Each structure stands twice: as C-alpha cells, then as structure tokens.
Structure 1
C-alpha cells in the first residue's frame, strides 16, 4: 500500500498528466479541424509538459500494483526529464511564432542545440546529475534532486529563466500592448507559462508536502490557460 506522502506525490503528478493530456488532445482535435498550426504546437507543448511528471506517476503505479519502486532508480529521472528538450523546442517555436516570427528559427535552433546538450548529460551522466531518496521502499515514492553544480541542473535553470522572461513576461508585455480579445489571449499565455516555470521550479525546491501539493494543483491549470490563450 502506498503511504500518505506517496499518494500526495503520485496523485498530484497524475493530475498534472491528465489535465495536460486532456487539453492537449482537445487542442490537437481543434488544430486538425481548423488547420491551425499553432494549436498543434501548443498541444505538443502541453503533452510533453505533462510527461515531466511521468516519474512519480509510474512509480505510483508500480508501488500500487506490485509493491516495488522503479528499478534501477535512475530510470525515475529519465522518465521525467527526457521530455525537457521536446518541451523546450515546441514552446520556443510557439513563443517565437507569436512574439518574434522573423527570428523564430534562430531561437528554436539555439534551443535545439542546448536541448541536445541537456539530453546528453541526462542520459550519459545520470548518476552525476541527480541524487535519489527512497525512505520507505515498496510504500513510498522515489524523490529525485538535482546536483546543483552539474551542467544538467545549470541547463534546467537556464531553460526556466529563459521561459519565464521570454514566454511568461514576453506574453504579458504583448498583452499590455494589445487590446480586446487579443489582449486576453496573450495574458492567458503569459499566465500559463509563468505558472509552468514557477511551479516547475518549486517542485524541485519545496520539501513540505502541503506546499508541493498546492504547487502541483496550481500546475494542473497550466494547460487550461494555454488552451484558452490559443483557442479560436
């Protein structure tokens, strides 16, 4: 049986994945129906953002049905963070198309390179990139923390700061400059990306279960704001 902290960890991760998947599929359906390319990129961004919590979700499933945790333990981090590069690339394309369309491929190209570097460190230096804690095997869930001097963490920090400044603040500035319905849509996009960055950062910093739970519940709204910002 999963312990209380494991349930909080696993169920909130499940909620994020479900909300992201639902709005991703809804956006994908609308993108096909309306032939709206940006909705396709939004759908992929939402889907891969949800997958960033795949580690605790899979660990919850395994502990619930088999009484064992993910093994080897480093798979936990790979399951979650292998999606960082896809999230980054699709999100930057989306932001570039809306904010700096003439230079979007320069932006996307730069982050493709950074994403490849990140994935290299993630896959080939996993043991040096993370520390793992499992205090109650078979009942509790794995907890992974970045080694904060390793390039994997430094790249994650760079990605989060860039996303906050370019996508979060960038869309808020666009909202301030726009009027009417367009202003509302830019505001929703800025809010969505800000929630993603702030909650994503807090998820790796917070240790109080209640605080983590609150942060993840807020994160469940990310895909909703993205969808509202781009739906037609």
Structure 2
C-alpha cells in the first residue's frame, strides 16, 4: 500500500481540538475524519504496515526493542528527509496505530489534564526532538535507524543504546556518531566493553562529548576496528573513566 500522511490543515485542526476530541483518542477513533477533504495525502512510496499490528504497548525495555524492529520492518523505506515530516507520524498515531498509541501512552493516566498533555506530546511531532524522542511511532523509527546505521539491521545493538533513555538521547544528539556507521559501531563496542560508559546519566554524555570533540578531524572509514576501539578507550579515559 502507499504511505499516507496528514496535511498541515489536518494537523492544525487536530492539534487545536485535543480537548474536544478526547473521546476519539480514548475510545472512538478518528475514522470519521480520515475522509475529510484535503486531510489525507497519499505518497508514491509503497510500504507494508502489517508488522505494526503486532506492536506491544507494555513499555518494557524488551518491548521497545521489538517494537523498534516492527516499525523498521514496516517503514525502512522512509528516508530521514521524509521522516522529518510531521504528517506521517501524526497520521499513524491517529489512524493505523491509534490502538497502540492509546494503550502505550494514555491508559492509566487518570486526569483529563494528563491525558491532554500526553496526546500533545505523543500523538504529534512538531519538532525534531518531538519526532526523535516523543512521538509514539517516530521514536521507534529512529531506534531502527540507529541500528541500521551501526550495522545493517543490527538490532542487538539497540539493547546497549536503550539500556538508558539518556544514553539513547545523547547518542542521537551527536550527529557525528549517527551519520557515520564506523563510529557508531565503535561506540557500541566500547559501551559493551566498559560498564563505566553507561553507568550513570552523565558518564555516557561526557563520553560522547569527548568523542564528538576529538573525532571531528579523523577519517574513521579508513581506520581498522582495533584503531577505532583504541580511540574509544582514549575518549572514555579523557571523559573520566578510571584506568585501573
């Protein structure tokens, strides 16, 4: 099937009507809105959204990994430039993946205020940070993108990155790392070798800051794996890891 997305008109209407549409989010759905004039735009990109029906809303670390695999299987054809379009993710959270998004992010919140806040945060994607970290589906796509950058569909690496939410964020924030697979793979190996790197909220971020600072002028693509690993060790030591 062709991938569809919501128009700017649809997004703006939905964003301005969260309170009025609470029942649609919590129980009724948005079928009545899908056929509104100028709401849905169909792309020429062919995708198979079947895997998305198996998304697990439990929120466990294992579910995050499995869900990332499912979203990547369904949407690996979506390129980063297209993934920046809010309409794709808003359409998925409101239509094809509404059930998952509802169970994952709305159930058990209790107060209307909390539900409205969660809808605004997880059902839309107005910024890069919102797409990368908050949108119910886009965040999973970005996880898959990480795995694909490190090594083709190497989802085992996600276990290392997803061990701590702040590690995932720091990894994604460093464009040098995400855009260069040789560095990304080195980060994963170092994180698995040295527990210190992922030991606290600040250690991974400090490690990544040093890596980003020292790695800018290096051509990692011509370095051997051993040379990259030696560089990663040096970065960890400079970031504060004990040499003992």
| TM-score after normalising by structure 2 | 0.26
Structure with greater Cα Rg: 2
Structure with the higher fraction of residues in helix conformation:
1
